[in-house]
Structure 1
Amino acid sequence: MTDHQQEIETFELGPLTCPRIFTGLWQLSSVAWGSAPAAKVRRAIAGHAENGYTAFADHYGSAEIMFGRAVKDVVSPIKIVGATKWCVFRPTEVTRPIVEEAVRERMDRMQSDCVDLLQFHWNDYSDHGYIVALQLLQDLQREGLITALGLCNFDAIRMDEICTTLGPDSIVSNQVQFSLIDTRPLHGMTDVCQKHNAKLLTYGTLCGGFLSDSWLGEPEPQLYDGSLTPSQRKYLDMILKAWGDWSLFQELLSVLRSIGDRHGGVSIANVATRWVLDQPGVGAVIIGVRMGIAEHKDDNKKTFGFALTAQDNAAIQAVLENSNGDRLIATIGDCGAEYR
């Protein structure tokens, strides 16, 4: 194991050993986040793995293909974990051939003889075909096509149902939105994870980059002035309409900056990430990266070099209590409700 790998906390995700920061590749799916030449992207992916960031998630669009090519460039014997998705958005007749085709397509695109972590999303809860689909995915897992099986944006009730129906240790994870702004997983989801020995893989933890030093002291941005990424538009809307207002958000950033200063000047993003990693049931945070453009490898590692104190957590909680964070579970719904 290299020194780089030793610096990054790891955890067990079923049979997989993973770093507690996953690298999110969704920004490769659209030029809206900016783009770099394919060769530069592949080198950046390989560079992440060689620096200890050995787990990659959310292979939308061409990202699966880019990832598959990049893995070939990585110096062995580094074990890389590729976590991709199968999302069912429309009414679908669930049969063995359809399920197997979905899995094999991902294997082909990622140039792998199995999918390390397949995260399953099902849009319509009224159609209980998701249970059948997951049982067929279990069959494929037993046959060696999938190493570990996870969920994506399932709520606590359905996750409990799925884990109970499929049996102990059947589901290793659920990927959900979780941040200082969106604390909905604390209202039931973390209890389900602990009950079934599953982990949360969290996205949106930095709110598209808003939970960072670059926004401290800045005026409220305009939602549609063309300067924001798709992720930033999504999270700004949540900050302003559901959670609180820009003034309270600035207060939160100021508190996070003070905490970072107490810990040797670590970044606001480090503090926000550390807070989520410390919550029950959280296995890893997925941080989206604009490969070849803006990567933050060195800064993200600082997340693992300090621990939040009781004083730090109390200061954060004092701001959160003035927000609508605890009411999001009622106003938006449980995890994933915003996508249904």
Structure 2
Amino acid sequence: MLQPPLETVNLGPLTVPRIWIGLWQLSSPAWGTAPVSRVKSEMNQHYLHGFTTFDMADHYGSAELIFGQFRRALLSADNNIFGEDEITFRRSRRLPLHPPLCATKWCIFMESHIPYTRSRVEDAVRERMRRTMGDTIDILQVHWQHYDNSDYVNVFRYLVDIKRDGELKVRALGLVNFDSQHVNEICETIGPGELLTNQVQFSLIDVRPLYDMAAVCKKHGVKLLTYGTLCGGFLSDPWLGKPQPDPYKDKITPSQRKYLDVITDGWGTWDLFQALLTSLRMIADRHGGLSIANVATRWVLDHPFVGAVIVGARLGVAQHREDNARTIMTSFHLTAEDNQIISNVLARSNGLRLIHTMGDCGAEYR
């Protein structure tokens, strides 16, 4: 039986699935470890099932290197990927028609007294290409830690020029954890259609993008790439009916410690969170026995300013590929009644006040 097609979105020159595979977990053994061979094998299984876009960064441990090795090996073994016969074969089996897409990041955390010249920016692009073992970066995303250094504007001017010149092949540009004010500033500075994405936290718990960010995205045609959408796995069936974990005694991941604090100290209480999970379980049952994670992810994807959700994949450690695929099969959408049930629970939370306690998108990292 052929796999149903997965929902996609156009980001400038790119057509991508609406769920991306995040490689953050490769940055630390705290999320579990697996042999590199198993990690690459799982990457290949995701790719073959339509999850063609992988999100990584310069500081995600060996993520760029492992992705580069995987992509090079795939193209070496299947170097007729764009041939007529190969395209016909792949279409007949609903397999990807292009190599896996590289979405990586250049993250500037430290203040620098050395100006960011075009040459310095080009060196950063070349380094990303070297580590991902390719001559193309499909989407290069930039994180900038210190807004008081306004060199980020010059960096994006140079990146736009580099992309247009074409000597270094960067297909699309995006941001990471930029707030609404600075997304707007960059878009107005570099011109329309140049900045395509901003990667921020967004979930049923953290709804800060519904404020100014949504308006800025609409104004400039920017799409959000969201992470934390499942709150480290808390928005899933295994936590339904479970007592509140102790972050210092129970075995939970670093991500779960972070999101548990938001759930219980900012958003609401564990009891209210259980009410949310119960409502999501009821909605999932109404759609033919889907998962809580499917419903929580679909809620985020249904916002028009969201391009894709990035799921943290503990490749070789935990497997959620088939469940993720059910979220973006084109027949699954939340109804008005579904959304009202969710809204009734969210109205009892402090979610809409998080922007005042946590700040705008990305503020928690500054």
- TM-score, normalised on structure 2? 0.90
Secondary structure at the aligned position of 1:23 is classed as: strand
- Aligned equivalents of 2:2 and 2:346: distance in 1? 37
Q: C-alpha separation between the residues in 2 aligned to 1:338 and 1:273?
A: 22
Q: Distance in 2 between matches of 1:249 and 1:327?
A: 16
2:71–2:99 contact (8 Å) kept in structure 1: no
Aligned to 1:69: 69
Q: CA deviation at 1:198?
A: 1.3
Q: Does structure 1 residue 96 correspond to structure 2 residue 113?
A: no
Q: What is the Cα deviation at residue 3 of structure 1? A: 4.8
Aligned residue among 184, 196, 202 for 1:172:
196
Partner letter of residue 332 of structure 1? M
Shift of 1:226: 5.3
The answer to whether the aligner puts 1:57 opposite 2:81 as a matched pair is: no
Counterpart in the other structure of 2:336: 310
Aligned-partner SS, 2:130: helix
Q: Using the TM superposition, give the Cα deviation of residue 276 of structure 1 relative to its aligned residue in structure 2, in angstroms.
A: 0.2
Matched, 1:79 2:99: yes
Question: Which of 57-66 and 8-17 deviates more?
Answer: 57-66
| Structure 2 residue 119 is matched with structure 1 residue 121 | no
Partner of 1:130: 152
Aligned letter for 2:242? E
Structure 2 residue ranges without an equivalent (≥5): 82-96
Is 2:267–2:351's contact at 8 Å kept on the other side of the alignment?
Answer: yes
Aligned counterpart, 1:276: 300
* Contact 2:201-2:228 within 8 A present in 1 as well: yes
Q: Distance in 2 between matches of 1:143 and 1:48?
A: 33
Runs of 4 or more above 2 Å deviation: 72-79
> Aligned partners of 1:79 and 1:12: how far apart in 2?
16
Q: Is 1:29 matched up with 2:51? A: no
Distance 1:3 1:288 in 2: 26
The separation in 2 between residues aligned to 1:97 and 1:91, in whole angstroms, is 18
Structure 1 residues 300-309 or 254-263, which shifts more?
Answer: 300-309
Picking from 110, 121, 133, the partner of 2:132 is 110
Q: What is the letter of the counterpart of residue 87 of structure 1?
A: C
Equivalent in the alignment of 2:178: 154
Aligned length: 338
3-state SS of paired residue (1:168): coil
Partner of 1:261: 285
Distance 1:107 1:170 in 2: 20
How far does residue 58 in structure 1 lie from its aligned partner after superposition? 2.4
- After TM superposition, the structure 1 stretch with the greater mean CA deviation from structure 2, 254-263 or 125-134, is 125-134
Matched, 1:9 2:37: no
Deviation of 1:111 (Å): 0.6
Q: Deviations over 1:232-272 (max 9, x none)?
A: 11111111111111111000000000000000010000000
- Equivalent position of 2:243 in the other structure: 219
The whole-number CA distance in structure 1 between the counterparts of 2:309 and 2:301 is: 7
Percent identity of equivalent pairs: 57
1:43 to 30, 41, 44: 41
- Rounded to whole Å, the distance in 1 between the matches of 2:61 and 2:249 is 26
Task: State the alpha-carbon separation in 2 of the partners of residues 204 and 58 from structure 1.
Answer: 15
* Corresponding residue SS for 2:172: strand
Question: For residues 190 and 3 of structure 1, do their structure 2 counterparts lie closer, same or farther at Cα, with a shift above 3 Å needed?
Answer: farther
Conserved? CA contact 1:43–1:73, under 8 Å = no
Aligned-partner residue type, residue 300 of structure 1: N
For residue 217 of structure 2, give the secondary structure of its aligned residue in structure 1.
helix
Deviation track 1:84-120 (CA, whole Å, cap 9, x = no partner) reads: 1111111123122221111111101101102110111
Alpha-carbon distance change, 314 to 15 in structure 1, aligned in 2, over 3 angstroms: same
Does 2:216 correspond to 1:192? yes
2:360 to 329, 334, 337: 334
Could you say what secondary structure the match of 1:181 adopts? Answer: coil
* Equivalent position SS for 1:72: helix
Q: CA deviation at 1:280?
A: 2.2
- Residue 88 of structure 2 corresponds to none
Normalising by the residue count of structure 1, what TM-score does the alignment of the two structures yield?
0.97
Could you tell me whether the CA contact under 8 Å between 1:46 and 1:71 is conserved in 2? Answer: no
Contact persistence 1:203–1:287 (CA under 8 A)? yes
In 2, Cα distance between equivalents of 1:308 and 1:58: 30
Report the CA distance between 1:61 and its aligned residue.
1.6
The Cα shift of 1:295 comes to: 2.4
- How well do the aligned residues superpose, as a CA RMSD in angstroms? 1.3
Letter in 2 for 1:88: I
Q: Whole-Å Cα distance in 2 between the matches of residues 318 and 58 of structure 1? A: 36
Residue number in structure 1 paired with 2:90 = none
Partner of residue 351 from structure 2, selected from 325, 334, 337: 325
Find the counterpart in structure 2 of residue 143 from structure 1.
165
1:65–1:109: 8 Å Cα contact kept in structure 2? yes
